[in-house]
Structure 1
Amino acid sequence: PSPRLSSRLGMAALVWTALCLASAIAVDRSNFKTCDQSSFCKRQRSVKPGSSPYRALLESLQLSQDSMKLQLVNEVNKVPLLLELYGLQGNMMRIKINELSPLHPRYEVPDVLVRDPPATWLAVTGRDDNSVELALGDSGHKLILTGKPFRMDLLQGRELVLSVNSRGLLHFEHLRHRCACPSPSFSDKVSSSVGSLWDKIKSLFHREEPKESAPADGTASEESEAAVPGEQESKEDRPDQAEEELGSWEETFKTHTDSKPHGPTSVGLDFSLPGFEHVYGIPEHADSLRLRTTEGGDPYRLYNLDVFQYELYNLLAHNTQRTVGIFWLNAAETWVDISSNTAGKTLFGKMLDYMQGGGETPQTDVRWMSESGIIDVFLLLGPAPSDVFRQYTTLTGTQALPPLFAMAYHQSRWNYNDEEDVATLDEGFDTHDIPCDVIWLDIEHTDGKRYFTWDSSKFPQPRNMLGHLAAKRRKMVSIVDPHIKVDSGYQVHNEIRSRGFYVKTKDGSDYEGWCWPGSAGYPDFTNPEMRAWWASKFSYDQYEGSMENLYIWNDMNEPSVFNGPEVTMYKDALHQGGWEHRDLHNLYGFYVQMATAQGLEQRSGGLERPFVLSRAFFAGSQRYGAVWTGDNTAEWDHMKISIPMCLSLALVGISFCGADVGGFFKSPDAELLVRWYQLGAYQPFYRAHAHLDTVRREPWLFGEENKALIRAAIRQRYALLPYWYTTFYHSYRSGQPVMRPLWVEYLDDVTTFSIDDQFLIGNALLVHPVTEQGAHGVQVYLPGKGEVWYDVHSHQKHHAPQMLYVPVTMSSIPVYQRGGSIVPRKERVRRSSDCMHHDPYTLYVALSPQGTAEGDLFIDDGHTYNFESKAQYLHRHFSFASNTLTARSADSKGIFESPAWIERVVILGAGKPAAVFLRQSGMPEMRLDFQHEPETSILTLRKPGVNIGADWSISLR
């Protein structure tokens, strides 16, 4: 069989790995396209900055209460486009550009937006011969739309927030009939007109005109955009008609030929962000959290491949004043160019620098280029990071609240051999006193790679196996991939074929490729009927041997095709409705995970929350489960890079992320394995996974000392499960990331903007894992002017801001609790999270310099939707002020009975009281025992004994 090409690390850093039978070797980069080898990317990138051929026909403007429409025309080829602009509630704006009268419909991404976002009003507040000024609702934003050349500038008050097409890189390849005629001449140049725009600027800023202004007649001077150094264009700079260009109607790469019956259909647009130097997003690139510039190299490629990682179409820009987001909604292959300098700044930006009386301010320019579809982009205007997160998840949905077990520790490899191996593994965790919630089975558990089946010789009694795990209150995850073995004796294949649910070739036959089963068909998950059928296969009577504690892993869902172009499906394959695969490629894995999650919901009658892990994903995938960073390698750099990879995912809505602990390929030494377990304990998804040819690496196989270190790391994870669960609940409710960069909480601290080797969990815990081999210490940055941080292990207090050198040993996991926070823990760690469900809580109260703190705790049954459908939950709020700790309800709608209680309160940074008293309504005041450690200022209150759902207060006197 073909190698298992399954590493998704490396597009940005060009770090690619693959499996070749029994060894991991480097992938030949020549097997995967560069921008120059992708004809549409090459055409788009050949469009150079300068004056745009597009003109907005201002006389065509139609304004309704919540939208604006007008025509754009390319003055070279005369093709009209339709621009639609929507002001959206919550400080957002949507821009859509499509052909006014296309030969046939162009693909618009369905199912990603959770609803049509509510609109706000638009109003024309000014206009002249070449521009229109619009107010966007009550947001304080104004949009200046310039006619010739077309551009849009968004301002808030007197501040330019961003510009659209300011570099003139809008390029929309219209649908056309193929002909043998030569490309039209490109001799007609469009002069840049800035006179009316300059008048608008003067009226906004009330400043005198600089000595060298644009001529009054509106023609371009030497200082105009058309004459910015490096931005002039030649006849070859802007290919519009692509009839004769290689790759326009047919493109060959290696041995694969892609027919293009609709010809060149790409779209591209540029955005300028004045004042921004730091941009983030476009996960899951294997590079620093802050995006690099792509000048002189390839752009970021957004194309879901088995070897590459998959990158989302979202970008955030942040400076000390504001955060903005750009969400590019297009499911075709996309490339993104990023430049960050002042040399290429637009005339508007240079004028703004002058107006504001300073030197040149930094500017980041972003250019999006997609192979097909339309331009559909949302501008998320913040101004704070929390606002951008809320805006984005308002559009695409928040992270689903996972069942509690899914946040605990998972044990996996390719593959556990048989039922006896599973039983031995399960018993091993108990024997060695290591918690574990889930055991995973990879592809070898099936009958000849036929999914929804079991190997009858190795797994003859799957229900007995699952029942044994259920008795231990543990779960199992099995893999179900979306390539179906072509076998007339395989019922799943026969049903899909008979129903016509397979993706088709361009000739109308069922598309077949090569994957793990050999010859395989690929279900068309874009078809709602196919998704409904797939979901039905997870019912207990259809998926024989399955039980309530069996959950699902969707791998290879890019889709992966070993003998396909770039290890994926032909772009001219056809989906329901006649759409080509090129139009929707990056949605395929999204739909697979959606259908699988719906199947797990339906098997319980809609009661149980699903758990589905997916390798491929898209905007909105957070609604359906977890993702991981792909099949990585047991190397220090791969462990370290997982931090910015998960952070970049969290920034764009996908909080439930983790990396294969220990590395998938190769075999880690003991030091690397221990450090990876320590890092994984503080990432949202915590799973050890390994390739079948690696040595076994269960936590107890590396000697007693290393076993103890791994056990300690896993136990730290379990003790913090109440905090993890509460933080996920906040993510579900508000869209805030679970794992987040420091700058999200410290908006004006520029030191945090480039830090990606440490991170926050929620807003209370700061983690700096040890990711360097042989490290004896780490440099930890503690942010926050006037704040304090407490080492969670020693409870030592540190004042911020400071760069702190922390000596480390092999047992060290540098973690700090923020002063002013309250973190709930469960310190009676048992074999699984379910066994701990009713155990008591300990509250860690970390006092701020002002002697205050607050935090909360969310509790429900941990696995059903009853918290939503029946309000069966508790949401408790804790606060400390004036030497009194108070517990009350944070949400009076929730009602839930829990026998859990408070067994300890640990107050960090407290002086010694004379006495401590507990008060509860209707009960006499009770004196509590306490212990105070003067060296560390730790006050421990023993056994308050109050129910977790009760209101109470504890006073220090």
Structure 2
Amino acid sequence: MTRVKINELKPLKPRYEVPDVLIREPPTEPLSLLSQDENGVVLSLGAESQRVIVSARPFRLDIMEGRDVLMSLNSRGLLAFEHLRMQEEEKVEDGMWEETFKSHSDSKPNGPSAVSLDFSLPGVEHVYGIPEHADTLRLKTTDNGDPYRLYNLDVFQYELYNPMALYGAVPVMLAHNAQRTTGIFWLNAAETWVDISSNTAGKTVFGKMLDYVQGSSETPQTDVRWISESGIIDVFIMLGPTPNDVFSQYASLTGTQSFPPLAAVGYHQCRWNYNDQEDVTSVDAGFDEHDIPYDYIWLDIEHTDGKRYFTWDPHKFATPKEMLQGLMDKKRKMVAIVDPHIKVDSNYKIHNEIRSRGFYIKNKDGGDYEGWCWPGSAGYPDFTRADMREWWASMFAYDQYEGSMENLYTWNDMNEPSVFNGPEVTMHKDAVHGAWEHRDVHNLYGFYVVSAHNSAVLSRNMFVFVSVGAVWTGDNAAEWEHLKISIPMCLSLGLVGISFCGADVGGFFKSPSTELLVRWYQTGAYQPFFRAHAHLDTPRREPWLFGPENTALIREAVRQRYALLPYWYQQFYHAHRTGQPIMRPLWVEYPQDPATFALDDEFLIGRDLLVHPVTEEGARGVTAYLPGKGEVWFDVQTFQKHNGAQNLYIPVTMSSIPVFQRGGSIIPKKIRVRRASSCMMHDPYTLYVALNPQRTAEGKLYIDDGHTFNYEKKEFIHRRLSFTNNILSSVNLAPDAQFTTQSWIERIVILGASNGHDTAVLLRVYSHWLIHLKLWTVC
């Protein structure tokens, strides 16, 4: 990696540099000087044949490998750095820099302070990332439209296929071609715009082929320009060369996806709002009656006493512990919302504490900033303050959060921050966080809210459904296009380190048709975060309200999710350790296959499961691309074998969920599905061994207690499973770890056996597993 920082030598006052995001100050290595003259220097980057050429007039930075330019900075001369100024110094009329919103004026006391820099990527046609946008996986050129915008906003009914800003902003972009993957991490928390242009934009496939036939010498190139309103230029260039190298490099800077408890990987039932305790009990019973498993039921803002968070409505939720205990008896859990806007009410202890401690964000005149949100007039805690975050975390203690128990978890929302009467439904940019304006820190506010909850996580051993936990794609709609767009949106989030993502099943706004609802459950069951949610004004849509036939279809989708929980859990553990995405585009595993580069209607879970959901109304078939020349893929329902490197037409019915297991893989399942994941803890495993053409297979199995942080104390089992020469064996990947499970391997299913007479032999039986084998073979 190469880090480039550009700042003023002598600013009028310090410019904002993003703290806390980097998990540690990255180690540096001395660069050796290879040559220099009056206009620049050539430095070695340490890696063999990699060097950086810095030119002074005009400024330009080129990163080379051998004779190839990997990336150039300021090759188009678009570097801009507006120095801090004062209106008196500039001798300009008052109000020259001022912006107004309704009656509020933002005087911009430091003047315009934007920064920008351009990057050129030779040989690159495909760039990805910079979520969150409701757009295709491959980022489009912006020459004829608005740039992609990164500015956290609480968007009501967002538009699709649009570069507009949404709820989150991750300033990381990946560039990929068949030779290399690289990344750009723009470390800036202010409003940011990203312009993308390409010399191949608009060319058809035929046009590109014609260029090739005619011997056109033009090398494809993508140019990107980043523009931020304030701060400094601080950018990390990740040189790969493989996709997994880029994931590892980025993870070394910002950390990896938090490892969730097993239950969080199950199914979540939510709506705005379940009316009262009796409603919760009824919905919970409905899942049992219809034999549909679930782990969490969620409560939105109406469960509180007048939108006062950390409270319960005294009439509708009079005995919350009784309600929670009823769920606990079934090994189920609840999630309650806690938003970062606080009702201004002198009878509300949370407000009184925050005000007395001076923890609210200030307005430009020094008073507490107030805006309008769900409670009415609200204050906004300054989560950029470490002491505020520490205090906030203490409010989740059982003696502070009345009615809470160990099976009550937390949902963060509205942390853009959302201000209903503010510009673009968010906070005024000249609000003050200590020494800094909100314009400097805006895209970090939600990050800091999450950080405060992390402290509560450690103290209460709970899991927080936020960006280090699970995120969702926002207030989507019950429309087919919203179902389709959920796939590239989740893929984009996964590429930049946020693996635990999903979309509100069924759509938040509007009412889905029965067909759409079923297809959404079938899609959501194969996305990392699996939650149904709905708006307050929509008709109820619990899974059993659409007739027995559709209830059965939804039940089967949810049960498929639960049967695969061992595989999902292994993928989350792997993501936590490596930074690799769980739900990933095909090009991540097949980086040299151009046919995968723009695919975003299908995806991989880990390496070994390929999913092509049905997202078209009335579909009678889908065409899935199965990658990998010389590889084979097995339909997980029929066990039919298909060759890789082909487009496969798959007839579908309403019960179809096209999913394929890669030949050469071993996937563990628990096929005794019970009412919640915890009830399956000690159940046996079935291993699905899918043979490749060489008649070998490999997989992994991870087991821990499923709900504590004891895995950090080496209390887990992690084994590599291998099938070769008709022998199934396992190797301990963590010999210094200790854990005992009551589960056992009950059966092994071998896919791809040539004649039905192959057998598997367990090479070794380990003392802490009870082995009970039933061997099945499937031709």
Whole-angstrom CA distance in 2 between matches of 1:588 and 1:928: 53
Are the counterparts in 1 of residues 495 and 581 from structure 2 also a CA contact under 8 Å? yes
- 1:714 maps to 558
- 1:630 maps to 474
Quote the offset at 1:118 in angstroms.
1.2
Quote the offset at 1:342 in angstroms.
6.4
Corresponding residue SS for 1:816: strand
Corresponding residue SS for 2:489: helix
- 1:889 maps to 732
1:590 maps onto 2:447 in alignment: yes
Are the counterparts in 1 of residues 749 and 775 from structure 2 also a CA contact under 8 Å? no
- 1:496 maps to 354
Match for 2:741: what amino acid?
S
- 2:111 maps to 263
For residues 460-500 of structure 1, the C-alpha deviation after alignment (integer angstroms, 9 at most, x for no partner) is 00001001100000000000000000000000000000000
Structure 2: give runs of 5+ residues left out of the alignment.
156-164, 203-210
- 1:50 maps to none
- 1:281 maps to 129
Whole-angstrom CA distance in 2 between matches of 1:485 and 1:416: 22
1:365 maps onto 2:223 in alignment: yes
- 2:139 maps to 291
Quote the offset at 1:109 in angstroms.
0.5
Corresponding residue SS for 1:168: coil
CA 1:902 to 1:264, structure 2 compared with 1: closer, same or farther past 3 Å?
same
- 1:688 maps to 532
Match for 1:553: what amino acid?
W
For residues 638-674 of structure 1, the C-alpha deviation after alignment (integer angstroms, 9 at most, x for no partner) is 0110000000000000000010000000010100000
CA 1:167 to 1:900, structure 2 compared with 1: closer, same or farther past 3 Å?
same
Corresponding residue SS for 2:286: helix
Quote the offset at 1:552 in angstroms.
0.5
Whole-angstrom CA distance in 1 between matches of 2:342 and 2:773: 64
Whole-angstrom CA distance in 2 between matches of 1:597 and 1:914: 50
Match of 2:502 among 629, 653, 658: 658
Match of 2:463 among 576, 588, 611: 611
Whole-angstrom CA distance in 1 between matches of 2:393 and 2:401: 11
Match of 2:250 among 381, 389, 392: 392
Corresponding residue SS for 1:805: strand
Residue correspondence of structure 1 range 324-339 to structure 2 within 5 A: 324-339=182-197
CA 1:277 to 1:267, structure 2 compared with 1: closer, same or farther past 3 Å?
same
- 2:76 maps to 167
Match of 2:568 among 708, 713, 724: 724
Corresponding residue SS for 2:7: strand
1:668 maps onto 2:522 in alignment: no
1:792 maps onto 2:636 in alignment: yes
- 2:175 maps to 317
Quote the offset at 1:601 in angstroms.
2.0
Quote the offset at 1:894 in angstroms.
1.4
Quote the offset at 1:594 in angstroms.
1.4
Are the counterparts in 1 of residues 746 and 774 from structure 2 also a CA contact under 8 Å? no
Are the counterparts in 2 of residues 434 and 714 from structure 1 also a CA contact under 8 Å? yes
Quote the offset at 1:140 in angstroms.
3.2
Match of 1:913 among 734, 757, 771: 757
Match for 2:646: what amino acid?
Q
CA 1:258 to 1:909, structure 2 compared with 1: closer, same or farther past 3 Å?
same
Residue correspondence of structure 1 range 743-758 to structure 2 within 5 A: 743-758=587-602
Quote the offset at 1:876 in angstroms.
1.1
1:739 maps onto 2:583 in alignment: yes
Quote the offset at 1:159 in angstroms.
0.9
Segment of structure 1 superposing worse, 327-336 or 124-133: 124-133
Match for 2:717: what amino acid?
L
Residue correspondence of structure 1 range 459-858 to structure 2 within 5 A: 459-576=317-434, 578-602=435-459, 604=460, 608=461, 610-614=462-466, 621=467, 624-858=468-702
Match of 2:5 among 70, 76, 96: 96
Are the counterparts in 1 of residues 748 and 775 from structure 2 also a CA contact under 8 Å? no
Quote the offset at 1:335 in angstroms.
0.6
Corresponding residue SS for 1:570: coil
Count of paired positions: 754
Whole-angstrom CA distance in 2 between matches of 1:734 and 1:695: 42
Corresponding residue SS for 1:276: coil
Structure 1: give runs of 5+ residues left out of the alignment.
1-91, 183-242, 345-352, 615-620, 938-957
Match for 1:595: what amino acid?
A
Whole-angstrom CA distance in 2 between matches of 1:716 and 1:258: 54
Corresponding residue SS for 1:376: strand
CA 1:422 to 1:928, structure 2 compared with 1: closer, same or farther past 3 Å?
closer
Match for 1:260: what amino acid?
K
Quote the offset at 1:121 in angstroms.
2.3
Corresponding residue SS for 1:838: coil
Whole-angstrom CA distance in 1 between matches of 2:576 and 2:657: 28
- 2:34 maps to 125
- Higher Cα Rg: structure 1 or 2? 1
Quote the offset at 1:845 in angstroms.
0.5
Match for 1:882: what amino acid?
N
Whole-angstrom CA distance in 2 between matches of 1:417 and 1:927: 47
Whole-angstrom CA distance in 2 between matches of 1:453 and 1:830: 33
For residues 853-912 of structure 1, the C-alpha deviation after alignment (integer angstroms, 9 at most, x for no partner) is 1000111001111111x2100001100111111122122121100010001100100133
Q: CA RMSD in A?
A: 1.8
For residues 727-768 of structure 1, the C-alpha deviation after alignment (integer angstroms, 9 at most, x for no partner) is 010100011100000000001100000000000000000000
Corresponding residue SS for 2:133: coil
Are the counterparts in 2 of residues 248 and 260 from structure 1 also a CA contact under 8 Å? no
CA 1:659 to 1:909, structure 2 compared with 1: closer, same or farther past 3 Å?
same
CA 1:930 to 1:384, structure 2 compared with 1: closer, same or farther past 3 Å?
closer
Quote the offset at 1:625 in angstroms.
1.3
For residues 231-271 of structure 1, the C-alpha deviation after alignment (integer angstroms, 9 at most, x for no partner) is xxxxxxxxxxxx68x98621124554322111111100000
Whole-angstrom CA distance in 2 between matches of 1:600 and 1:762: 27
Match for 1:252: what amino acid?
T
Quote the offset at 1:120 in angstroms.
1.8
1:441 maps onto 2:299 in alignment: yes
Quote the offset at 1:914 in angstroms.
6.9
For residues 690-718 of structure 1, the C-alpha deviation after alignment (integer angstroms, 9 at most, x for no partner) is 00110000000000000000000000000
CA 1:255 to 1:742, structure 2 compared with 1: closer, same or farther past 3 Å?
farther
Whole-angstrom CA distance in 1 between matches of 2:765 and 2:294: 40
Quote the offset at 1:303 in angstroms.
0.5
Are the counterparts in 1 of residues 582 and 605 from structure 2 also a CA contact under 8 Å? yes
Match for 1:611: what amino acid?
F
Whole-angstrom CA distance in 1 between matches of 2:581 and 2:569: 13
Are the counterparts in 2 of residues 172 and 268 from structure 1 also a CA contact under 8 Å? yes
Are the counterparts in 2 of residues 915 and 927 from structure 1 also a CA contact under 8 Å? no
Whole-angstrom CA distance in 2 between matches of 1:922 and 1:646: 39
Match for 2:98: what amino acid?
E
Match for 2:463: what amino acid?
F
Match of 1:156 among 65, 71, 79: 65
Are the counterparts in 2 of residues 342 and 361 from structure 1 also a CA contact under 8 Å? no
Match for 2:728: what amino acid?
L
Match for 1:161: what amino acid?
L
Are the counterparts in 1 of residues 270 and 534 from structure 2 also a CA contact under 8 Å? yes
1:176 maps onto 2:85 in alignment: yes
Whole-angstrom CA distance in 1 between matches of 2:760 and 2:131: 50
Are the counterparts in 2 of residues 248 and 264 from structure 1 also a CA contact under 8 Å? no
Whole-angstrom CA distance in 1 between matches of 2:580 and 2:336: 30
The percent identity for this pair of structures is: 69
Whole-angstrom CA distance in 2 between matches of 1:922 and 1:549: 34
Whole-angstrom CA distance in 1 between matches of 2:41 and 2:72: 15
Whole-angstrom CA distance in 2 between matches of 1:632 and 1:343: 30
- 1:419 maps to 277
Match for 2:673: what amino acid?
V
Match for 1:905: what amino acid?
I
For residues 111-146 of structure 1, the C-alpha deviation after alignment (integer angstroms, 9 at most, x for no partner) is 100001111220110112322100012353111111
